[in-house]
Amino acid sequence: MRKWFLLLSALLPVVVLLPAHPKAVAAVEPTVSVVPPQTVTLTFDDGPDPRFTPKILDMLKKRHLQATFFIVGKNALEHPDLVKQIEQDGHTIANHTLTHPHLETMKPGGVTAELQGGDAALTSVLGPSFPVPHFFRPPRGNVSPAILNSTEQLDKQLILWNVCVENHTTTTPEQVEQRVIKLIHERHGGILLAHDGELDRTLTVKSLPRILDDLARDGYRIVPLQEYLKDQQQTVSKNSLGV
């Protein structure tokens, strides 16, 4: 209970800005952002997809960056070689359900089945020795009591995001770059969400190199999710001590 609460609390100032998910935050009190300064972590949702995932893996490899891929189980089963490539490249494999349903409308049994189905799909592709994914992101960022309970029961950590690359107001790589960089500057870093599957992600693939190069130029650290969360915990501790 404590892990997801801390994370939700930390991300709340951003989640509030997401009009698509008003129910997700109704019961949580606003708090001060404790995102570690000048640090970004990269996350990708909805893949793998042969149209976009290989291009994203290439751009990450060229820049020696590690990201977290929140994989939809059914896509993993359709494209097992891409999942293996993600894992071989050193990225973190995370759970994004089996079929990407509207999880927030489902009963507890159905929610748990979706999470376990996502794990089972990844295990069937990567083998039984592959550790069950610890990180989970609910589709569309929607959260319900059943989702939170399942996440806790399965000993997973729920991860949302601070800035999303895709936005209906930006239609060129330059516009996407400017909007994302502005938001990251305003928030001094955060969890960046981009998508590598389901819809046409051509604009994302064209925009990401610009964004990554801007962040490097501006002195941001781009770190794996595990490291980002560790930094965040230390920031929370320092804040609570008044440091």
- Catalytic residue (one of 45, 119, 196, 231): 45
C-alpha dist (Å) from residue 213 to 56, 62, 193, 228: 14, 11, 16, 19
**Least Cβ distance, residue 243 to Zn ion (angstroms):** 37
For 142, which DSSP code?
-
Active-site residue, from 96, 119, 195, 231:
195
Instruction: Clarify whether 45 is annotated catalytic.
Output: yes
Report, in Å, the least distance between residue 14 CB and Zn ion: 17
C-beta of 141: minimal distance to Zn ion in Å?
Answer: 8
Tell me: does residue 104 bind Zn ion (CB under 5 A). no
| Minimum distance from residue 100 beta carbon to Zn ion (Å) | 6
Which of 46/104 has CB closer to Zn ion? Answer: 46
Nearer to Zn ion, 208 or 215 (CB): 208
Helices (H), the chain: 2-15, 53-62, 73-78, 80-88, 108-126, 145-153, 173-187, 202-217, 225-241
Q: Which is nearer to Zn ion, 137 or 181 (CB)?
A: 137
Q: Which residue is nearest to Zn ion (CB)?
A: 45
Please name which of 56, 125, 115 lies closest in space to residue 91, comparing C-alpha atoms.
Answer: 56
What single string gives the DSSP state of each residue in 185-215? HHHTEEEEEEE-SSS--HHHHHHHHHHHHHH
Judged by beta carbon, residue 39 or residue 41, the one nearer Zn ion is: 41
* Complex with Zn ion: residue 54 or 101, whichever CB lies closer: 101
Instruction: Based on the residue annotation, tell me whether 195 is a catalytic residue of this protein.
Output: yes
Q: Which residues within the stretch 123-182 sit at the binding site for Zn ion (CB under 5 A)?
A: 139
Half-sphere exposure of 182 (CA within 13 A, CB side): 7
* String of contacts with Zn ion for each residue 36-75, x by CB under 5 A: ---------xx-----------------------------
Q: Exposure of 154 by Cβ count < 10 A (0-12 exposed, 13-18 middle, 19+ buried)?
A: middle
Q: How many beta carbons lie within 10 A of that of residue 187, not counting itself?
A: 17
What is the binding site for Zn ion (CB under 5 A)?
45-46, 139
Kindly list the catalytic residues. 45, 195
